[in-house]
Structure 1
Amino acid sequence: MNPVMRPVARRLPPFAVVEHTGRRSGKAYRNPVQAYRTDRGWVIALVYGKDADWVRNVLAAGGGQLIRRGRHHRLTEPRRLHGSAGRRLLPRWSRAAMGLARVQDYIEVTSVEAPGE
């Protein structure tokens, strides 16, 4: 599904693309995600679970990059949230959907728009 979603995810909110570096391979990766704006940066729903490789890579590297609506955002200070601690950061309209999808884990990150992107 990732190759199909990647082009759409860059332009159609709440979808976005997280760029990250493999913690073992050093290779660059891109994964479509559901990302929601917060006062601090972004909260990303971990729809594939908290142990997905991209999640472990972002946590190990201390961040990555998010592309949404053609804009690049540097992600720093990732922290994993569970249950209502993450869900309360979502817009109201998506809280129910995440509950129905049984999404329990999230990553909150600090973000700044990358210059020149």
Structure 2
Amino acid sequence: MPLPRWLAQVNKRVFNPLEIRRGARPVLTHLGRSSGRTYRTPLDAHPLPDGYVFIPMYGPRTDWVRNVLASGTARLSIGGKEIELNSPRMVRKADVWPLLAAGTKTPPGISDESELLRMDLREESGQVAGDVGG
């Protein structure tokens, strides 16, 4: 079950800017689907052999998820590197979780049926997800 929407609004306005300034978490840069404005969202980025998976704690209708799905691309800043991502799609946790590093913990409220956002490495980038941590 996703976290309440009011908490998402508090995070967006208060805690996300603080997390970005701290620089300790991966940051997903994406374009607003209506405004075209650039947004930066701190997230946990779980590396896969060919990309990353992100957990929308507030559900699949979260603004950043909808923005990424609409634009088809995003950029991930992680470990001092910029990684271009594309081909966003929603996947069931049960389908992707076995691909993650052993011991990856499931956040509270996330079930095997929860939808996660999966993105591929952009081929031209030559990046390998496991090379940059997560």
Which TM-score band applies after superposition, normalised by the shorter structure?
0.7 to 0.9
Q: Which runs of 5+ in 2 are unaligned?
A: 1-14, 128-134
The reply to whether residue 102 of structure 1 matches residue 109 of structure 2 is yes
| Matching residue of 2:88 | 78
Hey, which of these two has a bigger chunk of strand by percent? Answer: 1
The letter of the residue matching 1:97 is T
Change (3 A) 1:114 1:26: farther
Hey, what's the Cα distance between the residues in 1 that align with 2:21 and 2:121? 22
Hey, what's the Cα distance between the residues in 1 that align with 2:93 and 2:27? 23
The reply to whether residue 4 of structure 1 matches residue 18 of structure 2 is yes
Is contact 1:16–1:66 with CA below 8 Å preserved after alignment? yes
2:28 to 18, 23, 27: 18
Hey, which of these two has a bigger chunk of helix by percent? Answer: 2
Instruction: Work out which of the two has the higher radius of gyration on C-alpha atoms and give 1 or 2.
Output: 2
Count of matched residue pairs? 108
The reply to whether residue 62 of structure 1 matches residue 72 of structure 2 is yes
Hey, what's the Cα distance between the residues in 2 that align with 1:83 and 1:73? 23
The superposition leaves residues 53-112 of structure 1 with CA deviations (integer Å, 9 ceiling, x where unpaired) of 010000010111100011001110111112311322322222x333xx122221111114
Identity %: 30
Hey, what's the Cα distance between the residues in 1 that align with 2:84 and 2:34? 21
Q: Which runs of 5+ in 1 are unaligned?
A: none
When the two structures are superposed, what TM-score results if normalisation uses the length of structure 2? Answer: 0.71
The superposition leaves residues 7-57 of structure 1 with CA deviations (integer Å, 9 ceiling, x where unpaired) of 34x44xxx3100000010111000011111111111112222211101000
When the two structures are superposed, what TM-score results if normalisation uses the length of structure 1? Answer: 0.81
